[in-house]
């Protein structure tokens, strides 16, 4: 395959590119290397992809439609893993315009480029945040997701609808993957794992929202990447049993599919903090705070559909994943 990975300097993007390279595929990457967080971390991730990667990487903003089209013309990808996006639930409350630019305009540019260059499979990142106000757990792709509680989630829900329209109109196979709280080495500095770790090691208090009464389906990054790579080689197809009288949100008469990709092992936030304390051998000083706007009380992925489709079986418990993260953190930040 000739695979384009967008957001290739990102936490999940660089690891996806590496996995595809290791399998012998021809891989190209783009990223705008913005300063939402430290661009040096992004450059270091790219460096991890090995010598010669520079010739296969381009700094490019997906919101620039002409640049995206020209890039497709030069590289002619057969498959696309679209991970570039403005991330972050809380940041979307203060800066919704950034999400319109990247997650809506940029996403539309990617769909248009795929249409004009006959891409064989468009795999894109969605999020567990689309389940929003729902408390029906475990979350199933077959339930309606019309009540997002953050603007970030709303843009990702819009991405799913936009992709379906292109799958229907132009028969572009589109698969959306709803990520559930991805963590691990090289994670973003704004994520709780790094913020908690930095505070614990420095003896500063960590802010624990909703008094710690939150549950997350923490998913180790390598389990996520394995799922992405397996999905990529199985383009979405139409569901011959799809019923337009009782429409299933997860499938379609078009070549379109939505999957949850998580651990299926929800963990209380306080247990997550306990594991960090155990790994670093240091107790956390906790400052309890009320629930933040846009946050969800609980995420819990039903992954049965992805397991049936590609044999997906995440195998990294948080005790193992957090330990691997800690080893990387100490190496990267304490040299």
- Supply the residues annotated as catalytic: 152
- Cβ burial, residue 241 (10 Å; 0-12/13-18/19+): exposed
Burial of 37 (0-12, 13-18, 19+ CB in 10 A): middle
* Closest listed residue to residue 31, CA positions, set 2, 54, 52: 54
- Separation of alpha carbons 27 and 48, rounded Å: 14
CA distances from 193 to 112, 203, 295, 322 (A): 36, 15, 16, 9
Tokens of 219: 């998913």
Of the CA atoms within 13 Å of residue 60, those in its CB half-sphere come to 23
C-alpha span between 255 and 140 (Å, rounded): 20
Helix-, strand-, coil-residue percentages of the chain, each rounded to 5: 45, 15, 40
- How would you classify the pairing of strands 79-82 and 2-6? parallel
Question: Is it true that the peptide bond before 74 is cis, omega within 30 degrees of 0?
Answer: no
């Amino acid at each position: 395959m000739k695979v384009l990975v967008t957001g290739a300097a990102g936490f999940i993007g660089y690891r996806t590119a590496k996995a595809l390279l290791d399998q012998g595929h021809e891989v190209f990457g783009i990223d705008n290397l913005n300063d939402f967080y430290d661009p040096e971390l992004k450059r270091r991730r790219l460096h991890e992809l090995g010598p010669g990667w520079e010739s296969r990487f381009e700094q490019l903003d997906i919101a620039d439609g002409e640049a995206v089209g020209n890039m497709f013309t030069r590289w002619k990808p057969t498959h696309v893993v679209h991970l570039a996006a403005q991330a972050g639930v809380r940041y979307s409350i203060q800066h919704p315009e950034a999400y319109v630019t990247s997650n809506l305009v940029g996403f539309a540019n990617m769909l248009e480029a795929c249409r004009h260059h006959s891409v064989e499979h468009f795999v894109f990142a969605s999020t567990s945040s689309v389940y929003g106000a729902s408390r029906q757990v475990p979350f199933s792709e077959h339930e309606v997701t019309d009540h997002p509680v953050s603007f970030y989630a709303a843009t990702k829900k819009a991405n799913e609808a936009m992709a379906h329209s292109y799958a229907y109109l132009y028969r572009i196979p589109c698969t959306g993957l709803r990520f559930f709280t991805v963590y691990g080495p090289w994670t973003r500095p704004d994520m709780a794992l790094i913020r908690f770790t930095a505070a614990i090691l420095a003896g500063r208090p960590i802010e624990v929202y909703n008094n710690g009464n939150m549950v997350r389906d923490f998913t180790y990054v390598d389990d996520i990447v394995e799922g992405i790579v397996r999905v990529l080689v199985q383009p979405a197809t139409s569901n011959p049993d799809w019923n337009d009288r009782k429409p299933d949100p997860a499938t379609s008469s078009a070549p379109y599919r939505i999957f949850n990709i998580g651990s299926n092992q929800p963990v209380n936030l306080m247990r997550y903090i306990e594991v960090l304390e155990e790994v670093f051998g240091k107790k956390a000083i906790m400052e309890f705070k009320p629930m933040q706007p846009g946050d969800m009380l609980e995420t819990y992925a039903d992954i049965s559909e992805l397991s049936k489709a590609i044999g997906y079986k995440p195998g990294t418990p948080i005790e193992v994943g957090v330990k691997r993260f800690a080893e990387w953190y100490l190496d990267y930040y304490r040299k």
